Amino acid sequence: MKSKGNMKTTSKGKSEKRVFHNNDECPIRNVVAQIGDKWSVLILFVLIEGPDRFNSLKSRVVGISQRMLTQTLRDLEREGYVNRTVYPEVPVKVEYELTSMGRDLIKPLYQLVSWAETHHDEIKRSRKAYDERS
């Protein structure tokens, strides 16, 4: 079998269906799932405007709890999308900003967000029609 991205072909040239393994080698489960959570994209888009502090982020991402913001920022830092800088001041000043990789990630995410904005009304109508049928 030859592998073409996630698609595999047999020696006869037939395509097999994709299989998404539950391991570290699957980019969708290992990378996309992290940024596809409820809060990560919103935080990344807030940070595109430049470095920001925790309480400012919390006020700009309406509805996120302190605990969830802390965890999401840690996850984004772990993945390499966000830098956390602690300034030795009294009181301590901490800022979060996008890394180069985080800024690169914003480009395809922006396309997704633009698509969502373009299709938002259509999606809402579809949801309403579905719910009325159920």
Confidence of residue 2 (pLDDT cuts 50, 70, 90): very low
Q: What is the CATH number of the domain that holds 71?
A: 1.10.10.10
pLDDT of residue 77: 97
Task: Give the phi and the psi of residue 85 in degrees, each rounded to 5.
Answer: -115, 125
Domain total for the chain? 1
Task: Give the phi and the psi of residue 11 in degrees, each rounded to 5.
Answer: -65, -20
pLDDT in tens, 43-89: 999 999 999 999 999 999 999 999 999 999 999 999 999 999 999 98
Range of the domain at 29: 22-133
Does 99 reside within a domain?
yes
Does 52 reside within a domain?
yes
Does 4 reside within a domain?
no
How far is CA 9 from each of CA 4, 5, 14, 15, 57, rounded to the nearest angstrom?
8, 11, 5, 5, 47
51/33 Cα distance (integer angstroms): 24
Specify the higher pLDDT residue, 24 or 60: 60
Q: What is the rounded average pLDDT of the residues 84-111?
A: 94
